[in-house]
Structure 1
């Protein structure tokens, strides 16, 4: 049943995207099918192999460390503002987003992020035939999150035509 719900959700999202399209006759189905198949293969390899589990654990530990640094920074700045037993949305959720956004800005400034954008985008665009920025956005939104991904590509957003902006 859980697989049927996932497949239904995927079909629903693709259907909504198709309905929102400006020119439904020019939709390229080959890149969509290629990427869905690639996603299933990648998901299977990452979740069902020991190498995949080690890779996922390493990435999760890396982001866990970043969030720990963010929590330490929030604790340093806002110290005793919150009771230890209560959850504060501002301090627990929004402040780490500010930290990660600043980190993304630093990586952008020292030219590390553009290199990552170009390499991931180039590799993925060879597979799906789409633009480098769209390919990077697909990967980065899964890694960074929807709110932070646009910070990483903000310089390129003003240069995109409307049709390419839709794919982001």
Structure 2
């Protein structure tokens, strides 16, 4: 059964009880990375292996996302500021324990490529916060693998 989460805003990225921040440099330029994140929403399963479905909703103001294992999200886009920032809030989910969750992708030039920074901002009960902190390495690995696959995908689409 889906549950509604708190309708937090972009400021939650800085104030969340749990903030996990990861970054990686890729060869693709910021506008190409931004287009893959914000414009090619249905392409997410091609590079983020945890994602099995990603599609726009509400005329592009939201997204429906499904993950391996059956987790589902209904999201609202909070920022689509190309090519620097893409952020969304989870509005509804079947994942237990979450009270609020915002993900923010920040992109900045790094030589001829891009520095990609992903912030995973979460609130939930103490056991969930502890579990997320303990699972930081796994989330970091998922991020690195996804961004590496995204970079390869962008590079191969140029060929």
TM-score (normalizing by structure 1): 0.27
Q: Please identify which structure carries the higher strand content.
A: 2
Higher relative contact order (CA 8 A, sep 6+): 2
TM-score (normalizing by structure 2): 0.28
